[in-house]
């Protein structure tokens, strides 16, 4: 607290010294400015973008691998890799062969509405066993845009 001498009354005048409070406020402001950029952010999502050049469209479709799990009533589902029928036993060998010389190891899995998710999970496990880095699930909203 600061003291000032009064004029004619000769008494003390007590006032709050705000200088230490301003110092504390500035220190807190600097601390928060340093901490804010370090806060973690959300997950990075990679969304496939359509090519700007239509000639690259054909080349891009050759790179995209979509494994489909098709529902069959009363039987095990059937599997396709880019519209080519594949038996479940051959799925690992075919995916390993496809991704053996690729730098970009991205695969999409598309399941029918009625298929049990356990079959889709098996395809994801087979993709991981074939050394696929990124596996995406195609949902009906994404498929509607095709």
Q: 70 with 30, same domain?
A: no
* Distance, CA of 80 to chain centre: 26
Looking at per-residue confidence, does 117 or 55 come out higher? Answer: 117
What's the pLDDT at 16?
Answer: 80
- Output the CA torsion sign for 128, 89, 66, 122: negative
Q: Is residue 11 part of a domain?
A: yes
Q: 129 with 92, same domain?
A: yes
Q: Is residue 47 part of a domain?
A: no
Mean pLDDT, residues 88-93 taken together: 90
Q: 64 with 136, same domain?
A: yes
Q: 11 with 58, same domain?
A: no
Q: 72 with 116, same domain?
A: yes
> The domain that contains 120 carries what CATH number?
3.30.420.270
Q: 34 with 62, same domain?
A: no
* Interacting residues of 50 by C-beta distance below 8 A, sequence separation 6+: 57
* pTM score: 0.55
Q: Is residue 49 part of a domain?
A: no
Range of the domain at 63: 54-144
Q: Is residue 107 part of a domain?
A: yes
pLDDT digits (tens, 9 = 90+) for 9-19: 556 778 888 88
Q: 76 with 106, same domain?
A: yes
Q: 59 with 92, same domain?
A: yes
Q: Is residue 97 part of a domain?
A: yes
Q: 73 with 126, same domain?
A: yes
Q: What whole-number percentage of the chain has pLDDT above 70?
A: 70
Q: What is the mean pLDDT of the chain?
A: 79
pLDDT digits (tens, 9 = 90+) for 101-139: 888 888 999 888 888 888 889 999 998 998 888 888 887
Q: Is residue 139 part of a domain?
A: yes
Q: 31 φ, ψ to 5°?
A: -60, -45
- Residue pointed to by tokens 């901490």: 35
Q: How many domains does the chain have?
A: 2
Burial letters for 114-139: b for 16+ Cβ neighbours within 10 Å, e otherwise? ebeeebbebbbebbeebebeebbeee
């Amino acid at each position: 607290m600061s003291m000032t001498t009064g004029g004619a009354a000769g008494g003390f005048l007590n006032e709050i010294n705000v200088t230490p409070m301003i110092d504390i406020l500035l220190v807190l402001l600097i601390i928060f400015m340093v901490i804010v950029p370090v806060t973690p952010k959300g997950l990075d999502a990679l969304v496939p973008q359509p090519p700007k050049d239509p000639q690259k469209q054909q080349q891009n479709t050759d790179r995209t691998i979509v494994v489909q799990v098709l529902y069959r009533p009363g039987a095990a589902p059937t599997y396709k890799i880019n519209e080519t029928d594949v038996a479940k036993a051959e799925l690992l060998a075919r995916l390993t062969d496809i991704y053996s010389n690729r730098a970009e190891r991205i695969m999409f899995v598309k399941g029918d509405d009625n298929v049990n998710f356990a079959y889709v999970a098996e395809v994801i496990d087979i993709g991981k066993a074939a050394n696929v880095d990124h596996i995406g699930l195609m949902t009906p909203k994404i498929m509607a845009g095709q």
